[in-house]
């Protein structure tokens, strides 16, 4: 079994408070389905990008904290799942469950571990 990150992209002006009640119910049902199948390791939604902070290492060893995302983009990751499934096809199948509005993009990538898991 491998772990995969399945992330949904939102436009930068997305406000999670504007999600319809039907969409919220669909997300909850999907989460329950994933849990019942034993596929979900972790699920989380992110706050609006305007609330993000970026950390940048400076040459003098200090860390600079600034408002906003690290990259200037027109979209950002709004939520994600970490799934433990047999392979990429299963992760993609979960990601393909269409509870979100048409046109939303998803990302799916296998997680790699370079150190012993704690």
pLDDT of residue 18: 81
pTM of the complete model:
0.78
Distances (CA, A) of 106 to 38, 55, 57: 21, 25, 29
The rounded percent of the chain whose pLDDT value lies above 90 is 36
Please list, in sequence order, all residues whose beta carbon lies within 8 angstroms of the beta carbon of residue 81, skipping any fewer than 6 positions away.
5, 6, 7, 34, 40, 42, 43, 94
Q: What number is the average pLDDT over the span 65-75?
A: 74
pLDDT tops 80 at residue 40: yes
Beta-carbon neighbour count of residue 44 at 10 Å?
A: 8
Residue, of 37 and 73, whose pLDDT is higher: 37
């Amino acid at each position: 079994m491998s772990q995969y990150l399945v992330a949904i992209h939102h436009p930068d002006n997305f406000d999670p408070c504007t999600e319809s009640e039907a969409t919220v119910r669909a997300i909850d049902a999907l989460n329950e389905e994933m849990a019942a199948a034993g596929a979900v390791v972790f699920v989380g939604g992110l706050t609006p990008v305007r609330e993000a902070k970026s950390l940048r290492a400076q040459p003098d060893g200090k860390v600079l904290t600034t408002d906003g995302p690290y990259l200037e983009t027109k979209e950002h990751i709004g939520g994600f799942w970490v799934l433990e499934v047999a392979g990429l096809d299963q992760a993609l199948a979960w990601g393909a469950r269409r509870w979100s509005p048409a046109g939303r993009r998803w990302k799916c990538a296998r997680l790699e571990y370079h150190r012993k898991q704690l």
